[in-house]
Amino acid sequence: MDELATRIGAIRRFNRFYTRQIGVLQEGLLATPFSLTQSRVLYELAHRTHVTASALGQDLGLDAGYLSRMIRGFETQGLVGKHRSAEDGRQSHLALTDAGRAAFAPLDERSTADVATMLAKLDPPAQARLIRAMAEIEALLDPRPEPAGTTAAEPYTLRPHRPGDIGWVVHRHGVLYHQEYGWDERFEALVAEIGVQFINNFDPARERAWIAERGDEVVGCVFLVRETDTVAKLRLLLVEPSARGLGLGRRLTEECIAFARARGYGKITLWTNDILTAARAIYARAGFRLVASERHHSFGQDLVGENWELEL
């Protein structure tokens, strides 16, 4: 019994420590008018598409009546809208309105800045230890399988780019596209050019890169870059073979869409090729539509290039 009491005390001490770290004891989370629960609901709506209230309540463990009252409050404030499901007219999907995305943006920015400040106190090896420890806590307390086949024991994490990542992106694109599609080194050169442009012209307020890690291994990436003031471009989506089937490509694409909306873009464009069937399926499910295609000979192959767009 004494040992159990000691463990309970240690967990409660950690809970007190971490709530101070992330600021949930403040009346409004991160100096915003939203509570922790309201902020979490807004976060889910900003980062998910085609979600119903029942699914949201189940995923967050919220009482249906409590969540319904919260959603009605958001609707009254003009932050959340509903639209009938095309697949099932009995269901309604929730989505943030333009006002909702504008209200969520400061919360998202402050949360990102606070976590970045916390990580800045640690060197890269310590940051990796922290992420592994958090993943282990999550796996022990919630061993349910993640959507799309992700295992709780080895979840992936997303982070911004840092020195060395662009080299990895260029190398892995060159290797994988040669192995899987026979593309020659000219594709690697194109990826290198895109990477150089991203670093030299990087605008953190309007652009972002997401690097996916599984344990200590980088397993994926995607970039969102400014094309015009109103149009963003999705580039360099890649998922390593070892991480395919986990829903990572879908998650990376959703992160791009949520970021673009929060930054006020009206459209996302992308260029791909028709043989990249897995990527094309991800884009289609996310709401992108094919607007143009053209045959071309590039990277040593006869290809059909495609332009896709998503209106935000």
pLDDT attached to residue 139: 65
pLDDT attached to residue 23: 57
What is the amino acid identity at position 114? D
CATH architecture of 154-311: 3-Layer(aba) Sandwich (3.40)
Q: What is the pLDDT of residues 190-201, one digit of tens each?
A: 999 999 999 999
Q: What is the pLDDT of residues 49-65, one digit of tens each?
A: 778 888 888 878 888 88
Give yes or no for a contact between 303 and 273, defined as CB atoms under 8 angstroms apart.
yes
Average pLDDT estimate for 170-184:
96
* pLDDT band at 142; cut points 50, 70, 90: low
Average pLDDT estimate for 216-227:
94
* pLDDT band at 19; cut points 50, 70, 90: low
Choose between 141 and 255: higher pLDDT.
255
Cα angle, residue 283 at apex, residues 149 and 153 outer, rounded to 5°:
20
**DSSP track, 24-86:** TTSSSGGGSS--HHHHHHHHHHHH-SSB-HHHHHHHHT--HHHHHHHHHHHHHTTSEEEEE-S
Burial annotation 183-210 (CB, 10 A radius, 16+ → b, else e) = beeebbebbbebbeebeeeeeeebbbbb
In angstroms and rounded to an integer, the radius of gyration of the C-alpha atoms of the chain is 21
Rounded distance between C-alpha atoms, residue 147 and residue 44, angstroms:
14
pLDDT attached to residue 154: 43
* pLDDT band at 148; cut points 50, 70, 90: very low
* pLDDT band at 128; cut points 50, 70, 90: confident
Asked whether residue 150 carries a pLDDT value surpassing 50, the answer given is no
Asked whether residue 133 carries a pLDDT value surpassing 70, the answer given is yes
pLDDT attached to residue 27: 41
Rounded distance between C-alpha atoms, residue 155 and residue 230, angstroms:
34
* pLDDT band at 144; cut points 50, 70, 90: low
> Beta 267-273 vs 231-239: how paired, if at all?
parallel
Choose between 73 and 128: higher pLDDT.
73
CATH 3.40.630.30 range(s) for the chain read 154-311
Pick among 3.40.190.10, 1.10.10.10, 3.40.640.10, 1.10.150.20: CATH of 2-117: 1.10.10.10
Q: In the predicted model, what is the mean pLDDT of the chain?
A: 85
Give the 3-state secondary structure of residue 132: helix
Select the highest-mean-pLDDT range: 67-71, 86-90, 147-151, 276-280.
Answer: 276-280
Rounded distance between C-alpha atoms, residue 250 and residue 92, angstroms:
22
Average pLDDT estimate for 29-42:
73
Packing angle, helices 36-47 and 248-262, rounded to 10: 110
Q: Tell me the whole-structure pTM to 2 decimals.
A: 0.56
Asked whether residue 146 carries a pLDDT value surpassing 60, the answer given is no
CATH 1.10.10.10 range(s) for the chain read 2-117
Q: Which two tokens stand for residue 288?
A: 């992108």
Cα 85 from chain centroid (whole Å): 23
Packing angle, helices 36-47 and 64-76, rounded to 10: 80
Asked whether residue 32 carries a pLDDT value surpassing 70, the answer given is no
Residue 304: how many other CB atoms lie within 10 Å? 12
